[in-house]
A = this chain, B = another copy of it.
Amino acid sequence: MSESLTRLLDGCRNGHSLPGGLYRDPEVYEKEIRAIFLKSWLCVGHQSQIPQRGDYFLFEMAGESVIIVRESEDRINALLNVCRHRGSRLCDTATGHESRLVCRYHGWTYGLDGSLRAASRMSDGFDRSLYGLHRLQLRVFAGLIFINFDPSPVPFDPIENDLAAPLAPYQLDRAKVAHRQNYPIASNWKLAVENYCECYHCAPAHPEYSVGHGRAIPGDELATLLAPVMARAAAAGLTEESYVRNSWLAAGALGTDRGYKRYALLRGHKTGSRDGSPLAPFLGTIKDYDGGATDLHFGPMMFGLAYCDHVVLYRFTPRGPRNTDCEITWLVNGSAAEGKDYDLAELTWLWDVTTVADKQIIERNQAGVDSRFYRPGPLSPMEEFTGLFLQWYVATMRAAG
């Protein structure tokens, strides 16, 4: 560990924001990529994005590019987008379809499993079997595609074991992507996650969200509001699971963070819409609006919000020490038709307006912590989950050595 990172970590206090250097130092950032992002399970998309053999999309993070390609009906592969000859990128476009992956530099040709099938005019002793594309670990759960850059990754099963039951009624494997939108944020990734993890800012900053969502309400009152929601759960077709939270330090192993946490909607809102009225057909086997919503957490950088009629996923992806992408994916019932069963502008309204506001908030935060006179400040009890994230961060970086 470099001397400056050690010194910065030594300056961290529980229950406080981090020292400023941790939000900008390029060496700290590179260490984070290696210690956290290249070792965690990362949710990169939904299987419905690549329905046909040969369909692919790219996942790009911190200078890495990965081709997520369907090889067959029941097999999806994650292949490093780097030719084994002289290192050219194979695919340029965010999505596409290829029956084989051909490098446009020298024509080296790979199968959809990454194996090298053709490389013209190499020396006689050249053994193609040694030059397949670098393949990453991949798991599909609830229709979501997870990858891990680590060849000996932490187990994925804890995520699946904990979340399979509560997510079952949503049948996310039969959902479809209604829309994806990227919001580039000019900030360090941790400021974006800190923002996502607390609702202390919801009342002052997000009136559109706060009017209908009970997450910003302190503990005791929240429990009172949640009780009638849980009483309606079974009738609505949901499980009686209200809380699965093995995230941050509780996850046990790095990058296996997972969470499912119910809370009440307010003022009769049924879902995350402009006025609380329904937006789309029910997901999966859900039969009714139960008056609740559910926070989701899959791995360290993918969060979500499940309503009865749609799911919103938030993925934070580091692009540099001061640049982070927040990509939002809206999932609806796979058989719903746009324009008929749902209106896309209405479906995406709440989380677009909220994320545009958060982008500005987070960028203002980065500008402030860049001051030489900024000192870490104390968290409110309402920022408990952000506090846990920061504790996890410090412990993880220390453990990485």
**A63-B370, A89-B368 known; A377 and B83 CB under 8 Å?**
yes
Binds B, one of A103-111, A161-169, A175-183, A239-247: A103-111
- Tell me whether chain A's interface is mostly helix, strand or loop, or mixed: loop
Interfacial residues of chain A within 99-127, with CB under 8 A of chain B in the complex: 104-107, 119-123, 126
**A105-B361, A121-B218 known; A377 and B87 CB under 8 Å?**
yes
Binds B, one of A249-257, A293-301, A378-386: A378-386
Interface flags for A200-244 (1: CB within 8 Å of B; 0: not) read 110111000000000000100000000000000000000000000
Report B-chain residues with C-beta under 8 Å of the C-beta of A119. Answer: 380
Sorting the interface of chain A by its residue count into under 10, 10 to 19, 20 to 34 or 35 or more gives 35 or more
B86 touches A365 (CB 8 A): yes
CB distance from A131 to the nearest CB of B (A): 7
Interfacial residues of chain A within 32-62, with CB under 8 A of chain B in the complex: 33-34, 38
Interface flags for A73-115 (1: CB within 8 Å of B; 0: not) read 0000000111111111100100000000000111100000000
Residue of B nearest to A204 (CB): B107
Asked if A64 is at the interface of the complex by the 8 Å CB criterion, the answer is yes
Report B-chain residues with C-beta under 8 Å of the C-beta of A106. Answer: 200-201, 204-205, 380
Q: What are 27 contact pairs spanning A and B, CB under 8 A?
A: A17-B87, A20-B87, A63-B372, A64-B371, A65-B368, A65-B371, A80-B371, A82-B373, A84-B375, A84-B377, A86-B194, A86-B365, A87-B368, A87-B369, A87-B376, A89-B365, A89-B367, A92-B364, A105-B361, A105-B365, A106-B201, A121-B382, A123-B381, A126-B378, A131-B377, A131-B378, A134-B373
* Chain A residues close to B by CB (< 8 Å): 17, 20, 33-34, 38, 63-65, 80-89, 92, 104-107, 119-123, 126, 131, 134, 149, 194, 200-201, 203-205, 218, 361, 364-365, 367-382
